[in-house]
């Protein structure tokens, strides 16, 4: 890995972590419950992007499966939380 790519990966990870911090602030502060669910979904997506960048950083395809699992679990979690906000029940 060239120094340029290594530097770019580090800068990208820093930007992602900064964004996750802002999203975490929104999740902790969010005026309503749906704001918190939205911020949690955003955190899941950024976590998935971090896994993909780590796959480039460590040159390993194993991180890809972790990223795929994060997409699926983030979807299931967000839909379950939104359904709970909608009806007060997750499974009827």
Partner 1 sequence: MNLPPIPEIIVALLLLCSGIVVLIAALGLWRLPDFFSRMHAPALASTLAAWLVTFGSILHFSTRGAGLALHVWLIIIVLSITAPVTTIVLARAALFRRRRAGDDLPPPLSTTAEPPAR
Tell me which residues touch partner 1 (CB under 8 A): 1-5, 7-9, 11-16, 18-20, 22-23, 25-26, 32-35, 37-39, 41-42, 45-46, 48-49, 52-53, 55-56, 59, 61, 64, 67-68, 71-72, 74-75, 78-79, 82-83, 85-86
Q: Which two tokens stand for residue 10?
A: 């580090």
Residue 3 CB partners (closer than 8 Å, separation 6+):
none
Contact predicate 16/53, CB 8 Å: yes
Using an 8 Å Cβ cutoff, are 90 and 84 in contact? yes
Task: Output 74 or 91, the one with its CB closest to partner 1.
Answer: 74
Least Å distance, CB 58 to partner 1, is 12
């Amino acid at each position: 890995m060239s120094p340029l790519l290594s530097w770019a990966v580090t800068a990208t990870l820093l930007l992602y972590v900064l964004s996750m911090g802002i999203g975490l602030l929104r999740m902790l502060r969010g005026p309503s419950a749906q704001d918190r669910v939205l911020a949690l979904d955003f955190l899941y997506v950024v976590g998935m992007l971090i896994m993909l960048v780590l796959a480039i950083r460590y040159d390993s395809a194993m991180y890809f499966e972790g990223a795929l699992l994060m997409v699926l679990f983030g979807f299931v979690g967000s839909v379950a939380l939104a359904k709970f906000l909608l009806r007060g029940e997750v499974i009827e």
